[in-house]
Structure 1
Amino acid sequence: YLLNSVVYSGLIAFLQTLFCAMAGYAFARLRFPGRDAVFGVLIAALMVPPIFTVLPNFVLVKNLGWLNTFAGMVAPSVLMTPFAVFFLRQFFLSIPREVEEAAVLDGVGAWGVFWRVVMPMSRGPLLTIGLTTAVWAWKDYLWPLLTGREEEMRVLTVALGIFQQQSPNTQPDWTGLMAGSTLSVLPVLVILILLGRRLVESLNFTGIK
């Protein structure tokens, strides 16, 4: 269960951060028809409660035959979230264009500028988005419960809920339940202890050295 939680949260954090960075850079630097309108629609999605998308996402995953697979568990969150795109776009706008223009003069193409210049300069914000996404996925319960009910696909949060319900007529095994709960908290606590200061510093980083 612990390994499933690590894989689930790690896949979502990596893929979502990657796609959000690409979308944020496109909205910040590229010029194409309807860019501002598309960005406005994307930001408007922040007003849609996530619970409204659970049913259509479940129907789509079921029709694709992805129930009880990591593909089905990760699919609805893999591309991007409006907040992450907005956050990274604002940071990309703060990067001086002169840096990218200098790279272009050196013969670097558009993809090269993004991967070799912009991404290394954005390590702090990318780390922030990646860790917050991983923590959100780590504590997620409803979606893994709906799409990963088979025992081999259960994440730790779902396993703890099922463990608590296994003895409805008797008192739960509080010792085992607390041990599992502690195990679910420890990875997040270690991340915050080791990288908490880096996260705070990354939110204040708006220039280059």
Structure 2
Amino acid sequence: MRLGRGLAWSYIIVILLVTIFPFYWILRTALSNNFAMSTDPSSLLPVHFTWGPFKRALGLATPAEAALENGSGAKIDLALALWNSIVYAGILTLCTVVFSALAAYAFARLRWRGRDLVFGILLTALMVPSVFTLLPNFVLMKDLGLLNTFGGMILPGAFFSAFNIFFLRQFMLGLSHEVEEAAIIDGAGPLRVCFRIVLPMSVAPMATLTLLQFISTWNDYFWPLLVTNDESVRPLTLALAVFKQSSPQASLDWAGLMAATLVAALPMLLLFVVFGRRLVNSIGFTGIK
């Protein structure tokens, strides 16, 4: 092994350790006893190993069992919060990817007057911080009577995403025109070409966008916080914050909070493990185009 290769591997290993350590610390805290952690807070191993925090996070522990470990008496309906996050992230992701794909097809494959000008204006949306649109969207949802509903959380972002349109357009510009021209000669219209030829050929970048959008929406906190305060539609990110704030004792139930956080993060970690390579390859391929 040459010196350069050794330094490169050392650098990669250090970056991996720095990246993975927070997740390990969450797991270590989630498997510790709250009473015992205060006596040995710097221990790298779980302090007085216990499954109690996970039982509290899942609502399986009694108040007496929670008190024995200095756990919180607060409860979180994890099943309902998970379901709300799945509905919110799933529907918003589906709408965003579908409408972005249709818009990208119009910008990449159709010829119409002012196309490039409109696309340039659309790209300026990438320069506008999303926080600037929060207040107008909140007022609109309030006027429409959609506060504390899934519609209020989903509609503002369901029909437009400048990054998604740009991402898919870059890929579609590199697709071969021969198959599309042959379909047009056979009498296929623009919609049929879009749904039968272009979109099936764009499955890989659409899958990448689906993963990115789902993860981003799953982790969203501020927008749901603005438009919802009802437990029936509260996503998991808000449920965890409520669990943290409603602890009745003076000291926070860090073990229970980390256990709930780990349960919330587990679906995203699995998605990254399964689709991580495809995600990186698709982003690189589309960027080259």
When normalised by structure 1's length, the TM-score is 0.94
Q: Distance between the aligned counterparts of 1:139 and 1:55, measured in 2?
A: 20
Residue pair 1:124, 1:205 contacting (<8 A) in 2 also: no
* Equivalence map 1:96-135=2 (5 Å): 96-135=176-215
2:89 to 9, 17, 20: 9
Larger helix percent: 1
Specify the alignment match of 1:44 in structure 2: 124
SS of the residue aligned with 1:151?
Answer: coil
Q: Shift of the alpha carbon at 1:191?
A: 0.6
Specify the alignment match of 2:170 in structure 1: 90
| Amino acid of the structure 1 residue aligned with 2:220 | D
SS of the residue aligned with 1:145?
Answer: helix
1:162 to 216, 220, 242: 242
Q: Are positions 1:20 and 2:100 aligned together?
A: yes
Q: How many residues align?
A: 206
Q: Distance between the aligned counterparts of 2:275 and 2:221, measured in 1?
A: 25
Q: Shift of the alpha carbon at 1:36?
A: 1.4
2:277 to 197, 206, 209: 197
| Amino acid of the structure 1 residue aligned with 2:213 | T
Q: CA 1:205–1:120 in 2, change beyond 3 Å: closer, same or farther?
A: farther
| Amino acid of the structure 2 residue aligned with 1:201 | N
Deviations 1:143-176 (A, max 9, x none): 0111121011100000111111113761122222
Percent of aligned positions that are identical: 51
Unaligned runs of 5+ residues in structure 2 are 1-80
Q: Are positions 1:144 and 2:224 aligned together?
A: yes
Q: Shift of the alpha carbon at 1:130?
A: 0.9
Residue pair 1:70, 1:153 contacting (<8 A) in 2 also: yes
Deviations 1:105-142 (A, max 9, x none): 23322111111111111111000111100000000000
Deviations 1:36-95 (A, max 9, x none): 121111101111100000000000000000001111100111012111111111111000
Unaligned runs of 5+ residues in structure 1 are none
**Stretches (4+) displaced over 6 A:** none
Q: Shift of the alpha carbon at 1:33?
A: 2.3
Q: Are positions 1:74 and 2:167 aligned together?
A: no
Q: Shift of the alpha carbon at 1:201?
A: 3.0
Q: Shift of the alpha carbon at 1:34?
A: 1.8
Specify the alignment match of 2:47 in structure 1: none
Structure with the larger RCO, 1 or 2 (CA within 8 Å, 6+ apart): 1
Residue pair 1:124, 1:203 contacting (<8 A) in 2 also: no
Q: Distance between the aligned counterparts of 1:65 and 1:111, measured in 2?
A: 35
Specify the alignment match of 1:59 in structure 2: 139
Q: Shift of the alpha carbon at 1:12?
A: 1.1
Select the structure of larger CA radius of gyration.
2
Q: Distance between the aligned counterparts of 2:223 and 2:248, measured in 1?
A: 23
